[in-house]
Amino acid sequence: MSADTVLVRKGAYADSISLMRISRALTEMSGVEAAMVAMATDLNLAILRDLGFTVPPAAPGDLVIAVRARDPGAAVEEADRQLASFRRPEESTADQPPLTTRSAIGTPADLVLVSTPGEHAFAEALDAVQAGLPVMIFSDGVPVAQERRLKELAEAADVLVMGPDCGTAVLGGVGLGFANVLTPGPVGVVAASGTGAQQVTSLLDWAGTGVSHVLGVGGRDLSAEVGGLSTLRALRLLDEDPATELIVLISKPPSPEVARTVREAVGGLSTPVVPALLPESDLTEAAERALRALGRPVPEWPSWPAWSGKQSRAKAIKGVYSGGTLSTEAALVAGKGEFVDYGDDAYTRGRAHPMIDPTLRVEALARAQETDLVLMDVVLGHGADPDPAASLAHAVARTPATVVIALIGTEGDPQDLHRQAAAFREAGAAVFTSNAQAARHARSLV
């Protein structure tokens, strides 16, 4: 019979990604029905109560360990063991890092990365802008009015705001957030889409063409509410960069008015720009146009047919995606089906992004029917699941549905792209490095 244990560790901090990984490891232990290790924010406490736990008084700076299991003590011991592995050795007060953006100003750092709960991100980013420092806001959940105001202030301060909800950036070869291993080269990217940038830059890398910088601007930047403020600044910055010979501009469907403004700005640049604005162009076509503009050959994008001899009986496409732009692109190319972006804020409340935590997509594969064709992305690179095939390939093999996978990554990524492709192919999936080609293949099978 299961029992509940809820412990509060006062003032014990660990980052949310580490805690979500510990929670996932605990839930996979034998005899554990539910487990959550998290900071005691209002959101996390509400999730714990929804799970049926009785939570003692706790402040946002406290750590909560909640376990429902036949042997809660064993799960708590495992949580403590994993927590200990994330802690750094004790440091002297003089060596402790700054705890806020404001206290860090004056250090040698020349970029601020904000990854706090969305309600606190504006204040930290504002401190960076007021100090004249560019800022990347990884946080989501930031009100759009705050985003607009922050970017207006950044324009006046002559600095770039990347984000909010900026999941990917590469600055001078250094990847931030979810980032693939890319060779340096002449292409600069401005992206109102993290996974869109990863698709285009991975294809360029396959073609032997590297990038100078990837400037993420946040998925809402080209909306009517924000007005493309960061996109316009990022274009100017890359235009002034001597290492950038060509710019690729990537976005989910933009506001028509903002798109016109951006096109007018592009006309005034000295560096050529290849637009990849859905639905006008898919991301693979944009990568191919960039290669042609540089006078470089377009390769045949690698793909691996399924090993299984099972005949598809699919009648409907179900998109099970972790990347919002990839999901949008696939829906546009396939022209039919039901597509879900599990990376949307509605699905990441209280849990890690699906590029890290496969749980929701494993459950979606388990629900799929023989008459379904599941089209999904698997995104590699730093920050993503270190071995996505370890959990997803088993789910692919068990589902009665036909499965087509867009595997986004490079040969330099730590997950070993060829090993991932082989595992998914052996599980019965067809694998493509081009999301658009994967969507066309899925459409041909229905």
What pLDDT is attached to residue 198? 98
Domain boundary, last residue among 56, 86, 116: 86
Q: H helices then E strands: how many in the chain?
A: 16, 18
Q: Is residue 95 part of a domain?
A: no
C-alpha distance from residue 88 to each of 39, 40, 376 (Å): 18, 21, 37
Q: Is residue 264 part of a domain?
A: yes
CB neighbour class for 145 (10 Å; exposed up to 12, middle 13-18, buried from 19):
exposed
What pLDDT is attached to residue 91? 46
pLDDT digits (tens, 9 = 90+) for 396-433: 999 999 999 999 999 999 999 999 999 999 999 999 99
Q: Which residues of 316-348 are buried (b: 16+ CB within 10 A; e: fewer)?
A: ebbbbbbbbbbbbbbbebbeebebbbbbeeeeb
What pLDDT is attached to residue 311? 67
Number of domains in the chain: 3
Q: Residues 109, 180: one domain?
A: yes
pLDDT digits (tens, 9 = 90+) for 329-340: 999 999 989 999
Q: Would the pTM count as exceeding 0.75?
A: yes
Q: Residues 289, 311: one domain?
A: no
Q: Is residue 93 part of a domain?
A: no
Tell me the average pLDDT of the chain: 92
Residue-by-residue DSSP string for 341-393: ETTSHHHHTTS--TTT--HHHHHHHHH--TTEEEEEEEE-SBTS-S-HHHHHH
Q: Which band of pLDDT confidence, cut at 50, 70 and 90, is reported for residue 42?
A: confident
Q: Residues 310, 287: one domain?
A: no
Q: Is residue 74 part of a domain?
A: yes
Give the Cα separation of 333 and 327 in Å (integer).
10
Q: Is residue 94 part of a domain?
A: no
pLDDT digits (tens, 9 = 90+) for 341-359: 999 878 877 677 899 888 8
Q: Is residue 233 part of a domain?
A: yes
What pLDDT is attached to residue 389? 96
Does the pLDDT value for residue 50 go beyond 90? no
Q: Is the dihedral of CA 211, 170, 233, 133 positive or negative?
A: negative
Q: Is residue 288 part of a domain?
A: yes
Q: How many CB atoms within 10 Å of residue 246?
A: 22
What pLDDT is attached to residue 25? 87
Does the pLDDT value for residue 90 go beyond 60? no
Does the pLDDT value for residue 89 go beyond 90? no
Q: Residues 71, 118: one domain?
A: no
Q: Residues 255, 335: one domain?
A: no
Contacts of 254 (CB under 8 A, 6+ apart): 192, 222, 223, 228, 262, 277
Q: What is the CATH number of the domain that holds 202?
A: 3.40.50.261
Domain boundary, last residue among 53, 86, 119: 86
Does the pLDDT value for residue 132 go beyond 70? yes
Does the pLDDT value for residue 76 go beyond 90? yes
What pLDDT is attached to residue 27? 87
Q: Pseudo-torsion of CA 150, 155, 160, 163, nearest 10°? A: 30
pLDDT digits (tens, 9 = 90+) for 156-201: 999 999 999 999 999 999 999 999 999 999 999 999 999 999 999 9
How many degrees, rounded to 5, is the angle at CA 107 between CA 106 and CA 108? 120
Range of the domain at 337: 303-445
Q: Residues 11, 41: one domain?
A: yes
What pLDDT is attached to residue 350? 64
How many degrees, rounded to 5, is the angle at CA 392 between CA 389 and CA 394? 95
Q: Which band of pLDDT confidence, cut at 50, 70 and 90, is reported for residue 212?
A: very high
Q: Residues 172, 202: one domain?
A: yes
Nearest to 198 by CA among 171, 168, 243: 168
Q: DSSP state, 227?
A: T
Q: What is the CATH number of the domain that holds 55?
A: 3.30.70
Q: Residues 174, 73: one domain?
A: no
Q: Residues 421, 334: one domain?
A: yes
Q: How many CB atoms within 10 Å of residue 33?
A: 13
Q: Residues 199, 323: one domain?
A: no
Average pLDDT over residues 222-239: 98
Q: Is residue 298 part of a domain?
A: no
Residue 232 or residue 109, greater confidence: 232
Give the Cα separation of 294 and 298 in Å (integer).
11
Q: Residues 438, 307: one domain?
A: yes
Contacts of 206 (CB under 8 A, 6+ apart): 299, 301, 302, 410, 411, 433
Mean pLDDT lowest for which of 115-129, 288-302, 343-357? 343-357
What pLDDT is attached to residue 108? 83
Q: Which band of pLDDT confidence, cut at 50, 70 and 90, is reported for residue 308?
A: low
Domain boundary, last residue among 233, 263, 293: 293
The rounded Cα 101 to chain-centroid distance in angstroms is 23
Judged by DSSP in three states, 60 sits in coil
SS3 content of the chain, % helix, strand, coil (to 5): 40, 20, 40
Q: Residues 220, 313: one domain?
A: no
Q: DSSP state, 178?
A: S
Q: What percent of the chain is modeled with pLDDT above 70? A: 96
> What own/partner pairs with CB < 8 Å and gap ≥ 24 does 291-295 have?
291/204, 291/207, 291/209, 293/246, 294/186, 294/187, 294/209, 294/245, 294/246
What pLDDT is attached to residue 88? 52
